[in-house]
Amino acid sequence: MWNPKDRETLEGLIDTHSLMEVTEALAVIAEEKADHVRVNWQDKSLAESWHRDAAHLEKVALRLEN
């Protein structure tokens, strides 16, 4: 469970940048995690999971308007 300070921080990011931009940033981070896992851990399954999550987040971001 998130603590109130973390939630406030996330809300501030959304207020400053928009929900769409924060979701796009999450997609980029997830893709970077996929690359990191693939290169450093050689865990193809986990890397693919991060890659799929990144793709889902990008689709969500494209559907957001704010």
* Whole-number Cα distances in Å, 39 to 33, 42, 44, 45: 10, 6, 9, 12
pLDDT of residue 65: 87
Range list of β-strands (E), 3-64: none
Summarize the confidence of residues 12-21 as an average pLDDT: 98
- pTM here is 0.92
The values of phi and psi at residue 65, to 5°, are -115, -5
62 has a pLDDT exceeding 90: yes
**How many distinct helices (H) and strands (E) make up the chain?**
3, 0
